[in-house]
Structure 1
């Protein structure tokens, strides 16, 4: 009898474990019911208004041009190609922003801890200024107040008749693949691989015997010599398409349009002020005894920073740094304010207005940003796990 009562009580709502499962099941049912209601309501309204749904519009021709495209694009190309161009432009400005913000933020973070009073105060003014001005205003400043006020193409700033800076953008020579491009690329890969093997071998030899073998002379010879030999045998790896003024603008070469430059500058400068504080906090989180121990061993300051302080500080730096990288990707959507052709401007803007497929275009744009953010988070978490302390 007691066993029956115990079994009956195990499946009773008075049991906390049973209650927890019931509440979770109810929450899942309510969630799926709400999502189902939203989908049913949306499809019903689309049907009543005669709006077709689906992604077939991606095969339709887009009747507009794009000022920047990393792959070829013509007015008659499809909306699907517009999506690829918008995605590539978003990835481009995000990558540039991450690289420049990381480099600038790292040096600013070190400057905030410098013994030099002037350098420390200047970096503090930089951080406190740019992180407290809204990003959109900084984008407007660089675009309208700086880049759009540069001289026109005919009065452009000229460097060696190869690089031209005007209000139309920065025009530079564009490298084009030559006959020796593939052999030279293979030579570079081989040189880097052999250099890594040589470096690791010399490090192991030093750890085992204490004898120091310098790797850098051979590494320089490999990295410079092998590609040069490949070009001597197979021909030039690159030749250059130099821009030239024709009519009212430049033709040829590679162009950095003002919209991209303004967005990259604003994202880099704004985010670097936050990264600088992350770097500073990470370095200051390392106990000062580590600095003193390194000095007692006679280690120079650069070696102390690279080999002692930064490896420990990275465990504090990486998690908030990941958030800043995600913010760069998401903040790049502000490009629509100055007409830079990213995902939001092209797909959630122009394509939506032309096709009327609001749900599809918005869903695609949201999914792209979600996937990019999850991928960055995944890679940074992998790196974070590699740098984490492991108890043995």
Structure 2
């Protein structure tokens, strides 16, 4: 039987043998282990001291601890809420939940509006129109240098100076501006509208899948199937078909002046409107600079190549420059989203009842200061981590993949 000899050039190099850790201060691994044990022990000792000292002080003052107060009747009046609320019946737990929803309502709408406004202003700063570029620069340099709290107070004062309901500023019958807030017409929501919304989501998923199929088809054959007719059919045709099959309900509740105030429609309180305006305009000034720097980070040759293909400037910005600049924009944009969410805690200064305002009232009435602060911290931690996880996922999704 023949014997085969392995070519020494094809044999992988042997791994260097691992050295055992020596119990000597001259061994780097031993020193690192000792320092880690010391630091972890010191942190644990400090935490134990703080916790035991807090418990001892609470016992000495006969202050009860725990979250049992969440099941007690709240008695906290809340001006606006997304859920039905009766202070004489509902508990502190429900009041805090309404505060969380009010915070999310401001943060979610603020993030969308600030992104749109900041993107437009950032592009405006790069415009060849001298007046537009200077106005955008003035906006950015002015809004960034004024403290947010002063801006919130400014907007709240402006809204309080609007006329009374009988002299309201209005746009037809659908929008009224008064010192009691903004009153908007509201669609009378029916099950058919819910079904149409579900159909739209299904159509959106179908559009995404068709777009991916078109990309694979183009890579394989060089010919891309038409996508916009399918998208139009799925995003518009399918929801309209579902809505029509279910009876085509469409009733709008318009606000009507009755007595000293409007009835009907949906109301945006002055506190919510002022907070939203302040957060959006302030955060948009930072987002504008992020967008401008991201666009400038794209090599100038990309503009020249796109123009050589005959694309208009708007198409170049939308199809070539912005998709590439997103890889630079997304990381700092995440920080601004987090800042907007955390800055919403200033709502207490103008009377909007977010989680901070409701929790402060709760801890003042119950004396559960530690639990109240813990609830506030937990709410902002969960919201911030959710935003970070989503933005990190999106950033990884659009990242360039090396081949």
So what's the TM-score if we normalise by structure 1? 0.92
1:158 pairs with 141, 166, 170, which one? 170
Q: Deviations over 1:216-260 (max 9, x none)?
A: 244334433333332332123553333323332223321100111
Alignment of 1:289-304 (within 5 A): 289-304=301-316
Alignment of 1:11-22 (within 5 A): 11-22=23-34
Please say if 1:390 is aligned against 2:401: yes
1:3 corresponds in structure 2 to none
2:124 corresponds in structure 1 to 111
RMSD: 2.0
Conserved? CA contact 2:71–2:93, under 8 Å: yes
Cα separation, partners in 2 of 1:10 and 1:195, compared to 1, 3 Å: closer
Alignment of 1:202-217 (within 5 A): 202-211=214-223, 213-217=225-229
1:247 corresponds in structure 2 to 259
Conserved? CA contact 2:76–2:95, under 8 Å: no
Q: Deviations over 1:27-80 (max 9, x none)?
A: 000101101110000011101101000000001111121111011111121000
Q: Deviations over 1:148-203 (max 9, x none)?
A: 00011122123333322101011112223224234323432343344444444444
SS at structure 1 position matched to 2:248: coil
Q: Deviations over 1:292-337 (max 9, x none)?
A: 2222333332332233322321221111111111100110000000
Stretches of structure 1 lacking an aligned partner (at least 5 in a row): 1-5
Please say if 1:137 is aligned against 2:187: no
Measure how far apart 1:204 and its partner are: 4.1
Conserved? CA contact 1:179–1:235, under 8 Å: no
SS at structure 2 position matched to 1:71: coil
SS at structure 2 position matched to 1:138: helix
Alignment of 1:254-333 (within 5 A): 254-333=266-345
Conserved? CA contact 2:168–2:176, under 8 Å: yes
Conserved? CA contact 1:176–1:239, under 8 Å: yes
CA distance in 2, matches of 1:260, 1:182: 27
Conserved? CA contact 1:178–1:236, under 8 Å: no
1:122 corresponds in structure 2 to 135
CA distance in 2, matches of 1:384, 1:188: 26
Please say if 1:39 is aligned against 2:73: no
Measure how far apart 1:132 and its partner are: 0.6
SS at structure 2 position matched to 1:250: strand
1:379 pairs with 360, 365, 390, which one? 390
CA distance in 1, matches of 2:119, 2:153: 26
Alignment of 1:75-114 (within 5 A): 75-76=87-88, 77-114=90-127
SS at structure 1 position matched to 2:262: strand
Conserved? CA contact 1:182–1:237, under 8 Å: no
Q: Which runs of 4+ in 1 moved over 6 A?
A: none
Q: Deviations over 1:93-128 (max 9, x none)?
A: 111111111101101111111111111111111111
Measure how far apart 1:211 and its partner are: 4.2
1:353 corresponds in structure 2 to 364
Conserved? CA contact 2:179–2:270, under 8 Å: yes
Measure how far apart 1:341 and its partner are: 0.6
Conserved? CA contact 1:178–1:239, under 8 Å: no
Cα separation, partners in 2 of 1:50 and 1:389, compared to 1, 3 Å: same
The more displaced of 273-282 and 249-258 is: 249-258
CA distance in 1, matches of 2:362, 2:251: 37
The more displaced of 281-290 and 183-192 is: 183-192
SS at structure 1 position matched to 2:294: helix
CA distance in 2, matches of 1:335, 1:254: 21
2:373 corresponds in structure 1 to 362
